[in-house]
Structures are given as C-alpha cells and as structure tokens.
Amino acid sequence: MARSARRLPVSGWLPAALTAVFAVAVLKAYSVPLADVAAFGGYLVVVVALPGLLLWRALRAKAGPIALDVAAGLALGYPLSVFIYVAARAAGVPQLAVVPSILVVAAFVLVPRLRRHWRGSGERAPLWWSWALSAFVVLLFCWSAIDFFRRNGLRWPGNSQPYQDMVFHLALAAEFKHHFPAMIPYVVDEPLHYHWYFHAHLAAASWGSGVELETLLYRLGLMPVLAGFVVLTAYTARAVVKTWWSGPVAVFFTLLGSAWYNTVNSGWMLVNLWISPTQVFAAMIFGALAYLVVDILPRAATKREWLLFVLLAAGVAGAKATFVPMLLAAGAFVAAVGLVFRRRLDRTALIATGLTAAVFVAAMLLLFRGGSAGMRIEPFALRGPHESYLAMALRLAVGWLGAWAGVLGLVVVGRRLLDRAVLFCLGLGLAAIVVVMLTSQPGGSQMYFLSSAKPYLVMAALAGVAALLGEPARWWRKALAFVLLAVMLGGAWTIVNVYTKPIEETAATGARDYPRRGGQIPGGGVEAMRWLRDHSSPDDLIATNVHCLPVASPPCDSRSFWVAAYAERRVLVEGWVYTDSAMKMAGKRKDYQRAPYWSPEILAANDRAFTAPSGETVDVLRDEYGVRWLAVDRRVPADIIGLAAVADLRFADRNCLVFEIRR
C-alpha cells in the first residue's frame, strides 16, 4: 500500500512526459533539429515559464495544481518577457533581455520569504483528467502536423507557397528583432498599429535561443501555447461549472463544436490554429486572466491580485485587439446584473471594469493610435444578399443556440444565471455577438471576437447542463441536460468532414505534401535575402521590384512580404496591404488587398530603377529615399545589364540578385 502511494504522484506526470516526447518526435519528423528544440525549450523554461510561474504564485499568495500554475505562469511569462525585450531592444542590447528573468529566478532562490513559492499546493487532479488533457494536447499536435506542418516546409520549395499571412507575421517578427519602436517593414514610413506582442516574443526567442525566426513561427512558437491553452481552458471551466468533467468537455467543444452545418460562424478554432498565431497566443494569455477573474469575482481581491490582473490585461491587449473590449463589456455586465438583481454594487466587478477601461485606453493610445484596421460600424453585415432580416435572425438564433444549447439550462435553473462566473462568461459571449452583428471588416476579422469568446460560451453552456444534472428529484431536467448535450454534439458532427478531409488527404498523399515548385517565394530567394541580412546593417533600406502575389497578375494583390521577412530589413515598397493607409484606400471594397498604393510617385521611382536603370534613377532611390540595396526577383521584368552598370552585384542566385548602390 505504501509503495503504491509513493508511486501515485509519479503517475500523474506520466501523461505530461509522454506528451512532451510526442511533441519532440513530431518536430523532429518535420525537419526541426533537436538542437533547436533544446535551445528553444531552454529559453522557454528559464526566461518565460519559470519566472512566470513563480510570480503567478507570489502575486496570488498561494500555489495551485502544478499543471495550472505552469500554464498560467507561461501565460504571465509571455507578456513579461515581451515587456523586458522591447525595453532591451530600444536600448540596443536585445541579447541582455534574458537577464531580468534569470534575476527573478535567482531572487526566488536567495530570498527566504520567496522560497515557499517553489513548493506546490499538493492538490492533484484525477488521473483520468490528466490523461484527457494530454490527449487533447496530442490531438492539437497531430492536427498541427496534418493541417500545417505537412504543407509548409522549412526549405525551398516546401516554404515557397505558405498562407500569405504567415510571411506577413514573419516580416513583423523580423522588424521587432532589429528595431523598436517598430514600423511596418515592407513599405516605408507606415506606422505599426497592430497587436504585435507575439511577433516581439518570436524576436526575443530568436535572440535568446539562436533559432531562426522561420523555425519559430512555422514550428516551435505555438506548440507550448497550444498546451497551455488546453490546460487553462479546462481549469477555468472547472472553476465556472464546479465539476471535474466539465474541463475536458469544455476543451472538446471549444476545439470541435459548431453550429449545425455551419449555418453561422460560431468560432472555428482548429481551422485557424496556425494561420492566425496571434489569436491562439492571445487566447492562451486570456485563459489565465479569465481564471483569475473567475477566482476573484465572488470575493475581495488583494492588491497583488489586481496587479496580476493588470499585467495579464496589458499582455492580452497587445496580443490580440479583440479581447480587452470583450473583457470590459463582461465586467460591466456582471456589475450591471448585480446592481439590478442584488440591489448593490459589485465592488470587484467595478474595479475590474475600471482597470480594464484604463488598459483599453492605454492600448488605443500607445499600440493602435486610434487605428481600426478597417473595422467599421455596419449593422447586420452577416445578412445574405437575398436574405430577409427575419430569416437572418432565425438562422443566427438556431445556429448559435445549437452550438451552445446548454445555455438553455441556465434559463430552466434560474439561480445559476446570477452566478458571477457564469455572468462573466455570458458577458464575454454577448459582447462578441454584438460586435459581430454590428460591425464588419474587409477581411472578416470581426469574426475573431466570436472565436475569442467561444471557450466561455461553451463554459456557460456546460454550467447550464450541470445545473440540470444537479437536480436529482427532477428526472426530466436530467433528460433535458442530455438532450442539450446531444444538440451540441450534433453540431460538431455535422461539420466532421472539415476535420476528416485533411486526415484522408494525409493518408492518401503521405506525411508531407510540400509544394514541388516555387510560389510566392522563388528558388534561391531565401538564401539571397539571408545573405543580404548577414552583409548589411539593420538600418539599411532595400528597394525591390516585386510587389504582387502572384508576381505578375494585375490588378496587383499587394500581399508580398518575403523580401522584408527573410532579409530582416525594411523595404522602400514591397507590398502595402494591412496598413492604415491601405485600408483607407480600400474603403468598403472587399478586395482590399488589391487597393492601389497611395504614393504612386514613390512606386514609380522605385520601379524605374529596375526597368530603366541609370545613374539618375538609381541616385533618386539613394539620395531621396535612403536606399542602399536592390533586391531583384528575376520573375519580374528588370534590366539586369543596366543595373550592373550603375550598381555593384553582390549576390546572384538562379532567381534572385542583390545589388549594392554605389555611394
């Protein structure tokens, strides 16, 4: 019996250990060297996770289950490491960004009153829970391999045709690796009004681990984020619903749940898992914040807990713009319901709302500078072209109620509707639905509000199911609970082909289905730009003759970012989409990526240097715009002989040339 008891704690670590081994095996299978895995893992533990864990415990003045503390510590460590990195980057010493984290760990070793935070609470989850969460993490790693890794290699031509936004993210990460304050790197003089913390994290990780940005973005960067998201979603669900079973079930419906036959968007998680890394990154950080809010809502929080709240809110504000407005609305909703039904002010909800408002204003002033990224008020933009308002209302009601049918249980068992944690989840969901109903964005980005709220709508639905199951004398309520769960399961089943299709393709074509020929990135393009990176200053400016995707398909789709991404240098004008100026030019047009460049004289001067090179045209780039390097994509018309007469050829590959303008 004693031997069995001694073995019990070890068994709880087995699922986590096997999951970690599986993750390494997947990464190795998809061309990530073990040295890179080890370097990034060491950076993540020492610089991000361990300081975050210790500070999470210190600010809460208590320890929780080890899985929760590790995941929440990781969520806290991400923004803290970003804050430190941008300060170090601004000071010109990015290599020293790891030092404060090491000093934090050292302080918890050396200061006697801090040492207690190394000890866990001893609270353990049921063993089946640990295996269930590990299974979901493995599922996400498998999906990552099937849906993303197998289509995107790390060598040409495997990396030549990525989803275009991936190269955009790579370009931003490169910008943060070499500059702060940062600008849009692929077009000159455009401010960066964007949620950029994930890109700064990649830059910091590249400095701290020595791993290439491409490997971090395409392989390593999101793996721990996915694991942390699963754990935090499960523990927050348990805190809201107050049952162990709700944790894994919440993860299931968050990942796989849907409106029936996708009659309305209910926030697809898996589809955007890797192509929207900022969404997953922010969702993980918000998971820790949501757990904290659910924990403090029924009581008076300490000053240290409010400091933790502000740190996480500030972190999520810069990670994804959708979360803080939802948090603000949810806090106000909890306070308003408390005032109406309890006839008193909810002090904790009011403080949370006030602090969130302060973070929101600071983010708008410092990060977004009033930019809207094309978001505008457009009521009922979800309505189909020939759909009546009544038909739209019915479609949305049936679709969303089908996805989160369990919410009806809260109506039947009315007392749970006043539970602060449930109100918080409902407030997040209602805020997201209102935004989706009343706004639009050319790229459909308003739907990210719904994706952001989805885990918490699921938790509210499961709270309704649990309330029905908690009525032992009412058999019909138990029956209703299972019916509502069946409706939610039915929604997931109706779109199962979305997930089985990639699996079938993998079975048919194998574990790799990389492009076999060049796409937006030409053969030799990565090598040429990395040569330029290694032989230039971060302050050097490049001009290039490639602007469009595909390279020659008018009207120009201006989502070309690969020169800025792989050279890790700013470009006079490569692409110009995803900027405030581009959104203003696009107006309400849906094909915003084809909006014209707003400074045609700069574009004309740029292109003349390639198509009609002369001392005069090249000198204009050098003297008026500060260009030093010319990056030539030979798939685009250019006078190579003429360029060689007025600039020095420094690097040549089959499709790319690099010239240095003579001074």
Q: pLDDT tens-digit profile of 406-464?
A: 999 999 988 888 899 999 999 999 999 999 999 887 777 788 899 999 999 999 999 99
Token pair listed for 303: 């000053």
- Cβ 613 vs Cβ 642: under 8 Å: yes
- CA–CA distance, 150 with 277 (Å, rounded to integer): 17
- CA–CA distance, 559 with 552 (Å, rounded to integer): 12
More confident residue, 270 or 20: 20
Q: What pLDDT digit, counting tens, does each position of 169-221 carry?
A: 999 999 999 999 999 999 999 999 999 999 999 999 999 999 999 999 999 99
- CA–CA distance, 657 with 528 (Å, rounded to integer): 7
- CA–CA distance, 638 with 99 (Å, rounded to integer): 48
Total length of the chain? 663
Place of tokens 């998971």: 287
pLDDT for 6 equals 45
pLDDT range class, residue 7, cuts 50, 70, 90: very low
Q: What pLDDT digit, counting tens, does each position of 629-648 carry?
A: 999 999 999 999 999 999 99
pLDDT for 1 equals 39
- CA–CA distance, 474 with 476 (Å, rounded to integer): 5
Listed range (5-19, 59-73, 580-594) with the worst mean pLDDT:
5-19
Q: What pLDDT digit, counting tens, does each position of 30-85 carry?
A: 999 999 999 999 999 999 999 999 999 999 999 999 999 999 999 999 999 999 99
> b or e along 291-323 (b: 16 or more beta carbons within 10 Å of the residue's beta carbon)?
bbbbbbbeeebeeebbebbebbbbbbbbbbbbb
Give the β-pairing of 376-377 and 439-440: antiparallel
Give the β-pairing of 627-633 and 541-544: parallel
For residue 196, what are the contacts with CB-CB under 8 A and spacing of at least 6?
172, 176, 182, 318, 367
pLDDT range class, residue 5, cuts 50, 70, 90: very low
More confident residue, 226 or 654: 226
439, β-bridge pairs: 377
Token pair listed for 479: 């029956």
Helices first, then strands: H and E counts in the chain: 27, 7
pLDDT for 2 equals 42
Amino acid letter, 396: L
Measured between alpha carbons, how far apart are the two ends of the chain, in Å? 82
pLDDT for 11 equals 64
Dihedral angle over CA of 637, 641, 644, 646, nearest 10? -90
**φ, ψ (nearest 5 deg) of residue 187:** -155, 140
Residues 338-350 have a mean pLDDT of 91
570, β-bridge pairs: 541
